Chain A
Amino acid sequence: MGKLLLKDREIAIPGEKLAEGMDYLPAGGTFREGEGIYASQLGLISVSGRLVKLIPLNGKYFPKKGDMIIGKIVDMGFSGWRVDFGWAFEANLSMRDATSEFVEKRADLSQYYDFGDIIAAQITHVSGSKIIDLSMRGPGLRKLQGGKLIDVTPSKVPRIIGKQGSMISMIKEKTGCNLLIGQNGVIWVSGDRDNEVLATKAILKIEKESHLDGLTDKIKELLEKK
């Protein structure tokens, strides 16, 4: 009979034994060696049925197909752009995926996106290691103007969004800010100044206390106090 050595939602460090026996199965962030299941990262344990999963508490964003990211234009070529989004390699945004307009040959690409522009885009393809393709075709994908950017730990993004977007919609509702969350841990906030500050404060609080319980109520309190 298998045995769980750490409780659900407890913090585990790399190499720590999480469960014993073949009844449990290792999921993301864990591995099996012999009879035991061990953590391979620093994170929170999440047990669902027989699966033992580890939710990492830190680490860089790892690109995944279908994710919406917020990035910065860092280079321009003849037929597209290069986008930096916090991963080791820059992503490609080709002309074809960037705009639906007809673009003349040798047109000046900076009229669409210039150096330093912040864009919201979707990852359409991740190959092997280096090549990541982006697309700007989809709802909400655009160049971001105004507002401010907040950097958070990518693994905490699901917590900031909340269950079925509960947390994010609460912040939106209470502050009246426009929010866009990139899976790479970049959050764009736009609204009037006081509300931007309040929303930022709330988001940073979620990031800091993401591993604690009862966060929704605390954030609600924070937002209503003002």
Chain B
Amino acid sequence: MKYTKRLDGRKFDESREMSAKVGIIKRADGSAMFCIGKTKAIAAVYGPRQLFPGFLQNPEKGLLRCYYDMTSFSVTERKRPGPNRRSVEIGMVTENALNPVVDLSKFPNTVVDIFIEIIQADAGTRCAGICAAAMALADAGVPMKDLICSISVGKVGDKIVLDLNKDEEDFEGGSTDIPVAIMARTKEITLLQLDGDIKREELIEALKVAQKGCDKIYEIQRKALKDQYEGVKDE
């Protein structure tokens, strides 16, 4: 099926409007919010702190633990609160996406907990969650080699598009959703999932589009992280 014009009038390689803020949760060691279109994610980081249950403790390096959750009011139909199969899996892939950049070798036997809460969902929640979590980790002062940027790409109808929204994900002519997370500096891919079908050449093309989107996200993350200090002016 032909997809000639995007449902919300964006260009095919244009992402939704993004915004980010750091330090939104006072009692957390680090926190951040990341919004992309109608999708809003908040992340809180606690630690390094003592790890329980004790058998998980690693005397060589600390553990990164990630918890992803959607609030019951984040979607149109009320979601049953609490973890489910999907959220446990997303927590796991988020952990895997962030682990390569986080260096916890200085904090043996401890854990760094990340809590991601989706307060409004319109597709691309795991990507928004990863972006927020990366900023929250930086805000918590956890040693990191790099920052992680994440965005979804995909194929709607016959077109490669950046940052699908819910309507595009449900497009009648078929759509493929590919969440991607990329290290900002080294351009290594730390998350790549695929829901749907796509040709090899199209995937390569899609990843190029994702790279462009991630460059834009990096600028927003960078600005948000610096703004919390540079924003402090003389009173």
Contact = CB atoms under 8 A, between A and B. Distances in A.
Contact of A88 (B30, B110, B232): B110
B144 A88 contact: no
B119 to A, nearest CB: 24
Nearest to B141: A59
Contacts of B184: 15
Contacts of B50: 88-89
Nearest to A130: B109
Nearest to B62: A88
Interface string A1-37: 0000000000101111100000000000001000000
Contact of B234 (A14, A38, A218): A218
Contacts of B183: 15
Nearest to A31: B145
A59 B30 CA distance: 8
B225 A13 contact: yes
Interface in B191-235: 221-222, 225-226, 229-230, 232, 234
Given A11-B226, A17-B185, A89-B50, A41 B144 contact: yes
A38 B183 CA distance: 14
Contacts of A174: none
Given A15-B101, A88-B47, A212-B232, A58 B109 contact: no
Contacts of B234: 209, 212, 218
B144 A129 contact: no
A57 B110 contact: no
A38 B143 CA distance: 12
B138 A40 contact: no
B109 A42 contact: no
A78 interface: no
A60 B110 CA distance: 13
Contact of A208 (B110, B222, B232): B232
A143 interface: no
Contacts of A11: 225-226, 229-230
Interface string A195-226: 00000000000001101100000100000000
A184 to B, nearest CB: 14
Contacts of A71: none
B189 interface: no
Contacts of B138: 13-14, 41-42
B108 interface: yes
A91 to B, nearest CB: 13
A15 B185 contact: yes
B106 interface: yes
B48 interface: yes
Contact of B232 (A15, A59, A209): A209
A59 B145 contact: no
Nearest to A42: B138
A41 B185 CA distance: 14
Given A40-B103, A89-B50, A208-B232, A14 B140 contact: no
A56 interface: yes
B79 interface: no
12 contacts: A14-B101, A14-B144, A15-B147, A40-B145, A41-B138, A42-B138, A42-B225, A60-B48, A88-B49, A88-B107, A88-B110, A130-B109
- In the A-B complex, list the 8 residue pairs whose CB atoms are closest, starting with the nearest: A59-B141, A15-B146, A14-B144, A129-B108, A58-B141, A88-B110, A15-B185, A40-B143
Given A11-B230, A88-B109, A128-B59, 9 more contacts: A13-B221, A15-B185, A40-B144, A57-B141, A58-B140, A59-B140, A89-B109, A129-B107, A155-B141
Interface of A: 11, 13-17, 31, 38, 40-42, 56-60, 62, 88-89, 128-130, 155, 208-209, 211-212, 218
